[in-house]
């Protein structure tokens, strides 16, 4: 089995959704934001938490205006089990039911709440 990396994940997921749609079957399709929680191999979220908890300056990319929609994998798993048990079909965006954060808000909140001695640049 070939390894799926970030370059082809999106196009493959889209192709799978299209195939399910063409099959005209009842299906549950779940679209994720940023999934976080224990054992996350990507480091997409915990990298920033560790960096904000450290000391010194760090590079925070972009202008900070990009939006983040985060969901804890444990909440997601509970919700998916409920949806499957109820035989729910459809397409759902699985993100926390709160207003999305900008990357700037995420960094500022993290630095403040961690009492960190860092300076985002």
**Paired residues of 63 in beta bridges:** none
CA–CA distance from 11 to each of 17, 67, 92 (Å)? 10, 21, 18
Token pair recorded at residue 40: 């996350």
Does pTM surpass 0.75?
no
Q: For residue 60, name the pLDDT band (cuts at 50, 70, 90).
A: confident
Architecture of domain 6-120: 3-Layer(aba) Sandwich (3.40)
CB 27 within 8 A of CB 18: no
CA–CA distance from 7 to each of 12, 13, 99 (Å)? 10, 11, 28
What does the pLDDT look like over 63-98, one tens digit per residue?
889 888 888 899 999 999 999 999 999 999 887 667
Domain ranges of the chain: 6-120
- Distance linking the first and last C-alpha atoms of the chain: 41
Phi-psi region of 74 (alpha: psi -120 to 50; beta: other; left: phi over 0): alpha
């Amino acid at each position: 089995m070939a390894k799926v990396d970030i370059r082809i994940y999106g196009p493959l997921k889209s192709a799978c959704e299209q195939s399910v749609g063409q099959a005209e079957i009842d299906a549950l399709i779940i679209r994720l934001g940023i999934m976080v929680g224990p054992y996350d191999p990507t480091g997409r979220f915990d990298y920033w938490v560790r960096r904000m908890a450290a000391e010194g300056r760090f590079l925070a990319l972009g202008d900070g205006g990009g939006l983040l929609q985060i969901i804890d994998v444990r909440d997601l798993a509970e919700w998916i089990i409920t949806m499957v048990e109820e035989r729910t079909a459809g397409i759902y965006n699985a993100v926390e039911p709160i207003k999305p954060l900008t990357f700037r808000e995420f960094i500022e909140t993290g630095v403040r709440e961690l009492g960190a001695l860092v300076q985002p640049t």
